Structures are given as structure tokens and as C-alpha cells.
Structure 1
């Protein structure tokens, strides 16, 4: 018995030494759960910041853009419990003494243009469509390609459906553009695009497709929210390098009706500038949570009438506009834009999801429109 006790004592000492091999004393941060889902669908946010004087948390789980203030405990942990929250995948950011602070205790994150934001999921039947399930999964690759118009090598993300390696037929392509402040990884992280498509494929609701997510920001300055592709270096890169690269290196169809373009916010304007100026290249154009600003609409109406009168626009198989309801920051711009489309007899479909200008809306949009493609 003494030998057993002695052995256990050595084991405990060994574990303790391993945990503290750096020589530092343990802290509450060692076992902290920073974003904890409680049984009643409330969320407890916590961060260890013993020397801080002000800590807040913001994200699309809040109804207001004003972040929530955390309360400091004696052990140096700041916490707040919010909700109950509707089941969904939410972004959140801590701010510690005025500095946006990434949560290193949470491995789920969204990559953006200027940094990282964390993700936290509250499970539920309402978001079953974006859950990681035991179904065949596609492959997501970070692909580097040469941009002839920009003179640099650029990155995009490409999703190939499960079984692509053994397919012999040419697939349709959805080009999926991100918004301002995001990057080519955002649709895969906060957007959960690959899991949404995996689940729809497993349910037999969509056709296998390639999804190409390029980087909408460029080092070359331009007017991303202007009218027409000539003002935006990304549009030149997209038409001159992205599409040709994809069609050279992947088994995809070059038929216009096997090509769709969709994008949110800034990416929605880019979708319009590419799709409306080149409707013969696409069968489906789907701008989300977007709309031209009034001066640009005036320019569109006065200087681009030939574009708006192009009969090829009404030969699109689907021109689908979606908004995040009245609290979407682009809501009025979109209404103004639709009035211009009505003036020129442009046919479109319109839908709303009352979740505002966030991925809460855009994930739902993706789930709704992909079954409409390539039919």
C-alpha cells in the first residue's frame, strides 16, 4: 500500500511540475472558459485582465452597436452573462482599456482585413443548417494566383464539393464575394459556407458546385463602391485573372448559366458592377445587403443608361436581391437602387431576413439561394 501511495504522490508531483514548467504560479486564466454557453442559452463572456480598468465585449449577438461592460471579480477575471440568445453563430470582440483584444482561449475565429474576431455558437434547431454534421465534406483550399492587372500574387479560397477528385463532369461555379473589412477567408469562418453547402448536398437540395472566394480589397487604390468595374481594381483582377485561373486549373463549365456571382455589402456592389456590366458572362447575379449611395445612383442613371438598358440583364436566370431588414445599414440605399431598376424595367427578385447587416443574415441568404442555382 505504501508503494502505491508513494507512486501516486510522484505522479501528482510530476503533473504539477509539468503544468508549471515555466516557473510561473497558476492563475485563473489557466482554466478559464471565455465564452461559455449556459443551459438556458445565455452566454457568459470572461477574460482575465487583472490590471485592466475597463473591459467591454461587442458583437452581432447584441441588438445595439454599443458594447456591453464586463464586471471585474477579485481574482482579476472580468465577466458578463447575456441573453438568453437565439441559437446561432455569433462574432464577438473584447476591448481592454480601449484596445481590441483577441481571445486566445477560444480557437474559433474569423479572419478579417485588419485582424481577428472570435466566434461563439449557441446550438439549436434554427441553425441546424450550418452545424458540422457527419456527412461527406468538401475541401477548402487557400489558392495563390498571379494577378495580371495588379502585377502581384494574390490569395483566394476555393471550395470543391465532396467527391470532386473522382468527378469527370465539369461543375458550375459560384463566385462568392466578401464585404468591406473582411477577406477571402471570411465566408469560410463566420460564413460557414462549406458546412452549409455540405449539408445541402447531403440533403440533395443543391447541385455539386465549385465556390470561389477571392479577396475583394486590393493594394491598388480604387472606388470599390462606385458605378462600374473600371473604377475598382478588384473587378479588373476578377475578370482578367480570377475567372481565367479557375477555368484553367479546375474542371468547371464556361457556360454563362453555369456561372453565378454573389456578394455582400461592398462585395454586393462589386457583384453588381461585374454582373450588370457583363451580364452575358453570368446566369445568376445575387447582391446581398447592398445598394449604391445616392451620388453613385445619380451617376448610374445619368451616365450608364446603356448598361441599365442592356437586354442581357433580363436574360439572367436569376437576379436576386436580399437585405437584412430595416435595421440593415444598406436598407435605404437598396430601396433607392430598386427604384432605378424599376425605372429601367430590370426584373429581379427580392427577399428580407430581419437580422441586420451581419453574417446572421448572409448565412441565411446563402442557405436560401444556393438551391436556386444551376437548375
Structure 2
């Protein structure tokens, strides 16, 4: 009995001490809203950094302009106000004393090759097409596959449309490539591809399709913006491993008429290097915000006349080129590339939308070209 009393006494003492946590001093960060949308569609950015000496914020809302400086308040919160801005989904990054800093107060983010960026949406009718609606939703899968050419296991994202699991029909497939610095998750996060496609399907504006988003960067060095697939380890991996894996593991058609390939910036060059060299594999080719650099155009003209003159290219049902207007950093390269296509009588369609070299344009592009596929 004496031992029991001692044990109970020690337990009571321990519980009493455990409950006496040291008092925590509240800070402005406890209730801080880091990205606040004001009534006039301006964005107020705030971050608690009492020991910092310089804080800036950058994002695609600045359209290539320098990062905006934040002003320090007496309570250690840094703030600035941007805009007004048109309704859209925007990325942003804080930089605190020269270090890119993820906003921990905002769980919405974009994943890329070099880390995470935050997202904020200014709602409006312009963002309706990419919003989360009460409609049937497809499934997004993270898929790992063996790369024969690279000798490693690689990751990609795959979108299957609503009802895929219950159907027996073979679907057409869109291969959707990201740009330089991004990764296979980018089209699903900042690109909002799954919600854009869900909404189009619910409206009856597009055909159900499988969408494959592979990782365009590889650990093996290569020339991603060069001429032809042999210079880029990703293109070799795509043709030798990605496509065969998808056609074995998923219920998809292997007919040329049921294959499309689209990509932006670096991914746009990869699209061209795959499709122009293998036009018999695709019926829809969609390069976005891209174009060969002048030395590569020279290389194409000198070494790859047989590729440029291949009549199979003009049997592609749709070669659809899009740019984010004159503000797009690839604008001149694209003009040079289209001149090369004209010279070699390669047929294409061309469109421009606002947004420059960013997902402000590329989400718009996806919403426009997806209904054109597999008709």
C-alpha cells in the first residue's frame, strides 16, 4: 500500500508539472493573413519577420517587373499592396534578406523543380473555368515507372477522367509537358489542369481523355532546347519508356488519331523534337510559348532538311502554336520558327493570348485547345 501511495504521489506531481507549460507570448503572426484580397481587387501581402532587414515579394502578377519591396511595421510585420489585378490565379514568392521564403500561412502552393511557390486566387468570372465546381471529378495519380534509357525510376502524374474506372472503352491520350524549372506536378497545381478538364467535360465541350504529365528534366545532362530528340535524354525516355508504359498500364488507344502532345516553353521544344521527328505517332501537336533559338534554326536548316521536308508532318491533323503575346520572352524565337515552317511549307495554326510567359497564358491555352482534340 505504501508503494502505491508513493507512485500515485509521483504521478500527481508529474501531471502537475506537465500542465505548467511556460507561458507563450502571442505575436502578430498568430492571426496574420499573408495574402489578403481587398475589395478593389488589390492584393495586400504581409509576412512576420521582426529580425529581417529587407523583404520583397515577386510573382507573375508583376509581369516581369522587379520584385516589390515590403515596408516594416512597428510590430514586425512587413506589408505591401499590389494592384488592382484582374481576376486570376497568381503565384508569389517572398524573399527575406535574400532568401526565398515559403509563406507558411498559405497552404496553396505550386511545386517546381527548385522548390515551392505560393498561390492566391482573385475570384471573378475570368477564373470560372479553372475553379472547383460541383461536377464529376477525374482522378489524379502519382505514378512511378522504370526508365530504360536513364536506368532509374521516374515520376509522372496521370489524369483519368470521371467514369474511367467503370468504362471499358479505350481512351485517347494527351501528353502534357511542363516548362524549364517546373516538374511533373506543375500542370496539376498552378496549371489547374484537372479542374479545367473536369469543367470542360461537365459542359460537354471536350472528349474524355487520359492526360499524362511526365517530368521533363532528367539527371542525365542533355540539350533540352536543341534540335531533335537524340540530344535530349527526356525525349529518349519519353519515346522508349513513358509512352510504352502508359499504353501497357492504362486503357488507351495506340492509334495515331488518338494521340496528342502539348507542352510549354522547354516542353514546347520537346514537343516539336518528338513530333517533327516522329510525326507518324501524333495527330495533334501543341507547342506553347516556345521557339527554337537562332543557332538551332541554323542547325535545322543545315542538317535536318529531310525532317523539315517530311510530308508526314502535314498529315498531322492540328499543329497549334500559341504565344502569350509580345510580352512572352519566347516571342521572337517563335516568329523565327514560324518563318522556318513557312519556308518549308509546314502548316500550322497560330493564336495569341494575354499573359506573357506564364501560366496566366498557359491555363487559357489548355482551356482553348483541349476541346479541339480527338474530334
Give the TM interval when normalised to the shorter protein: over 0.9
2:121 corresponds to 1:121: yes
Alpha-carbon distance in 2 for matches of 1:145, 1:341: 35
- Give the CA RMSD over aligned residues: 1.3
Residues 220-241 of structure 1 show CA distances to partners (whole Å, capped at 9, x for unaligned) of 0000000000000000000000
* Per-residue deviation, 1:312: 0.7
Q: Aligned pair in 2 of structure 1 residues 345, 155: CA closer, same or farther (>3 Å)?
A: same
* Structure 2 equivalent of residue 93 of structure 1: 93
Find the counterpart in structure 2 of residue 62 from structure 1.
62
Separation in 2, partners of 1:236, 1:148 = 9
The residue that corresponds to 1:80 in the other structure is: 80
2:223 corresponds to: 223
Counterpart for residue 252 of structure 1: 252
Matched, 1:238 2:243: no
Match of 2:266 in 1: 266
Instruction: Label 1:21 to 1:95 Cα distance change in 2 as closer, same or farther (>3 A).
Output: farther
Which has the larger Rg? 2
SS at match of 1:362: helix
Unaligned runs of 5+ in 2: 1-17
Shift of 1:64: 3.7
Cross-structure match for 2:175: 175
Q: Tell me which residue corresponds to 1:107.
A: 107
C-alpha distance in 2, partners of 1:167/1:206?
Answer: 17
TM-score by length of 1: 0.94
- The secondary structure found in structure 1 opposite 2:311 is coil
Matches of 1:143 and 1:324 in 2, distance apart? 31
Alignment pair present for 1:156 and 2:160: no
Alpha-carbon distance, 1:158 to partner: 0.3
**Distance in structure 2 (CA, Å) of the matches to 1:56 and 1:161:** 40
Q: Is the 8 A contact 2:58 2:94 kept in 1?
A: yes
Change (3 A) 1:257 1:38: same
Shift of 1:25: 1.3
Task: Give structure 1 regions of 4+ aligned residues with deviation exceeding 2 angstroms.
Answer: 20-24
Determine the C-alpha separation between the residues in 2 that align with 1:114 and 1:42.
28
In the other structure, the counterpart of 2:34 is: 34
How many residues were matched structurally? 358
Contact kept, 8 Å, 2:63 with 2:356, in 1: the verdict is no
Please report the TM-score for the alignment, with normalisation by the length of structure 2.
Answer: 0.94
Equivalent residue, structure 2, for 1:197? 197
CA distance in 1 between counterparts of 2:232 and 2:366 reads 25
Give the aligned partner of residue 131 of structure 1: 131
Question: How far apart in 2 are the matches of 1:226 and 1:267?
Answer: 12
1:354 CA drift (Å): 2.1
3-state secondary structure, aligned to 1:230: helix
- What is residue 4 of structure 1 aligned with on the other side? none
User: 1:118-160 CA distances to partner (integer Å, 9 max, x unpaired)?
Assistant: 0000000012100111111000011000000000000000000
- Using the TM superposition, name which of 343-352 and 62-71 deviates more: 62-71
Are 2:262 and 2:268, in contact at CA under 8 Å, matched by a contact in 1?
A: yes
Find the counterpart in structure 2 of residue 343 from structure 1.
343
Distance 1:173 1:21 in 2: 58
Whole-angstrom CA distance in 2 between matches of 1:194 and 1:98: 35
Mapped to 1, the partners of 2:150 and 2:339 lie a distance apart of: 35
In the alignment, which residue of structure 2 is the partner of 1:296? 296
In structure 1, stretches of 5+ residues that fail to align are 1-16
